Amino acid sequence: MDFSYTKEQEVLKNVVREFSDREIAPRAAEFDRTAEFDYSIIEKLSRQKLLGVIMPKEYGGMGGSHIDQAIICEEIARDSLVAAVATNMAWYLAYEVCRVGTEENKKRWISYLFDGKKMGAHAGSEADAGTDAASVRTWARLEGDEWVINGTKWFVSNLGKADFYFLTLRTADDRYGGISTILVEKDTPGMTIGRRVELISNRAISNGELIFENCRVPRENLIGKLNRGFMDMMVLYDVIRLYLAIGAVGIARAALEASIKFAKERHQFGKPIGDFQIIRAMLVDMATEIDAARLLTYRALHMEERGLKHTKETSMAKLYASEMADRVTYKAIQIHGGYGLTTDFPVERYWRDARLCTIGEGTSEIQRLIISAEILKSEKIVLDSALD
């Protein structure tokens, strides 16, 4: 596998870099401080054909590769992980409909989901359904030509900002074979925005509680096949975990670049601290781990491109990249010393945002369970271990 960039990808990288430096970097600290993201950035990305390049041309994308999409994600995450997460949420649900949706779903929803003007959200988690994704208790019952939804979703990103929510719901009693995905548009009667939770990481993406009380949506809002939602969700995770992994690479790269700059400018004992071996060793480890994480992620994206199963490779990439970002941002604070504990330098924000990557879209612990199941060739271990 050759992961060197083509000339077109080098151009793409430079275009995204210029856009992000102009539109995102100057406001990244503001997003974190105010806990509010400027979603007009998504529209601007769309106008420049930088939103969801992986999407097929017939649906408004560029028909690009997953490496193209990863380049965009990394460059944006280098300036703001929040912006990268928001950008991914603006296209990946439409991509999921392309993958698992029925032809009717594709005709009805994709142009609506992917236009650069609307934002989406995936509502899967509940109070007792996080890692144990099959324990959802929010029900959707069919009454005539309408689904009637009751229950509460938790840790919903883009809460109150989204134009539509992809709900993972129980539609039958079977644990794994009784889950479906239903789309609910904003302002639908019976759906209420609940409490917003204050996070220390990824603060500018609103997150919290979504409440349903006899919320009625048309029967046609079922996405994919009835009672196939759990397996569809697993397929979705294999994609979005990779883009969180490459986001972790981006934020770690920012921490490394900030540390290199500081090591050159900060003087102690009459010389730059970058001249000390211990600082150099830290920088070397940081740079090496970043490259290793990127290559692991690219391998899994390449497999997705070829239509190969990549659950193990995805979990390896997500596990390593997320924990790498945690280590690299920690070292960045150490290199900055006392300055690293202040908000005058961005490394403290990089460190906080990196923590999202080890928890979001499946914790490091569940990634280890998945990998162990794959290498032991026992799919059953994934489900049984997650329930222990």
Q: What is the DSSP string of 223-276?
A: ESSTT-HHHHHHHHHHHHHHHHHHHHHHHHHHHHHHHHHHHHH-EETTEEGGGS
Q: Which own/partner pairs from 236-240 qualify as long-range (CB within 8 Å, at least 24 positions apart)?
A: 236/92, 236/96, 236/100, 236/122, 237/361, 237/362, 238/304, 238/310, 238/311, 238/314, 239/92, 239/95, 239/96, 239/304, 240/88, 240/92, 240/361
Which residue among 185, 361, 365, 379 is the active-site one? 361
Query: Distance (Å, rounded) from C-alpha 179 to C-alpha 230?
Result: 6
Number of other CB atoms surrounding residue 269 within 10 Å: 7
| Surface-to-core class of residue 342, CB atoms within 10 Å of its CB (0-12 exposed, 13-18 middle, 19+ buried) | exposed
Three-state SS at 300 = helix
365 is catalytic: no
Q: Is residue 143 within 8 Å of residue 152, measured between CB atoms?
A: no
Angle made by CA atoms 167, 386, 213, in degrees to the nearest 5: 25
Query: Distance (Å, rounded) from C-alpha 164 to C-alpha 157?
Result: 12
| C-alpha distances in Å from residue 108, one per residue of 179, 185, 223 | 22, 13, 11
Number of other CB atoms surrounding residue 211 within 10 Å: 17
Q: Considering only CA atoms, which of 23, 53, 189, 33 is closest in space to residue 116?
A: 53
Partners of 143 in the β-ladder: 146
Give catalytic residues, as residue numbers.
Answer: 361
